[in-house]
Structure 1
């Protein structure tokens, strides 16, 4: 249900219309996010399958008993290409997404989101080579439950949590810097701290983004700019998608069982 701010923010628009539009908008956000998650999962699983072979003569790089990296796997995980795969999605978020939102149509933004989800699948494919399938599924379910609870709270709370945004985004930047440093240090203790802090940061961002998506819709509903609302839905889907995936990856550090 729309809160009392809805009527004040959008005078002349019936509350029932706002509520119906908001529900449709949020359904589009979650639906787009879910499709993106499915694309990521399928891409990661498919690429991980192509990266493994039972032929020891392919590369000679063993990942477990009876399984070796294929030529594709060696290129993805052992050459400088891995740095491109790792940092390309990050570059897209910081430099590409904003331009896409400004210049592309809603359909173009949607396509960009799905392309990004595919790229994330490539960068995450290695988890299928490191962790057991059961622990990946188990962590995904735990993440989904936590995400649903946090997003529901962000949607329904009457508390204004807009002030969280700057603090949490600064935390994300600090987290990225710490992760880059730890690539060279390879410190288990630092990785543990990064994972714990990361879970808390992206849990907060899940609630924050949900409330922000809701508020943005309410503020613009009276203008009737459907193109903008469609783009905003994809932008919101991307924000929640990133929060979900990061919570999943950090939780996997704690819950994942290695092969």
Structure 2
């Protein structure tokens, strides 16, 4: 017997509700035939909300029972919350994973051994570039978060605006094969300052902070991963000097 659900979602010339589309997709994946009722104007939407005494759309009804919005629908099907609240390492994991895959791809394309010294060099350089891009997306937001734990930025706020450019320069310099003396000092400097700052804030002062490594307003906790980013920079600098 076919299971049927009624979905009311906002679809206008100016706006298509993303949660309406997600609700429809979830219902279909759960084996429901969807009666898709599109609210094509603000007036229709407001009238629907007033009629059913709800504050938002979409709204799903199953067997005459109002289930609710997209989050309510996920809970109904025991899918858990759509978005995890609190701290998460997901952004950093995504960046490191993509950087590693690109490094492996570059070696594959040039017929080099997949796991080699160049793989590590490319991985670190690409990670630095990708992390710098995240910071440069919103320098103001990044600076607001960065100056709460970086020791140099606390004393000289402008350093927070210099840091992402220095990180990008070091990463690009490694990829381009610049002379070690042009790149390594920058990488070593920002890496040492960053490592000392994170270690002090997390392991000495025991402060619970959010890391600005993937840009401002992130939910990445300041800790081991943040320290790893800085250790990468220090290691990269030393590697450039040791392997001319």
Instruction: Give the structure with the higher percent helix.
Output: 1
Instruction: Give the structure with the higher percent strand.
Output: 2
Q: Is the TM-score greater than 0.5?
A: no
Which protein shows a greater Rg? 2
Higher RCO structure, 1 or 2 (CA under 8 Å, sep 6+): 1
- TM-score band by shorter chain is 0.3 to 0.5
Provide TM-score, normalisation by structure 1.
0.33
Provide TM-score, normalisation by structure 2.
0.35
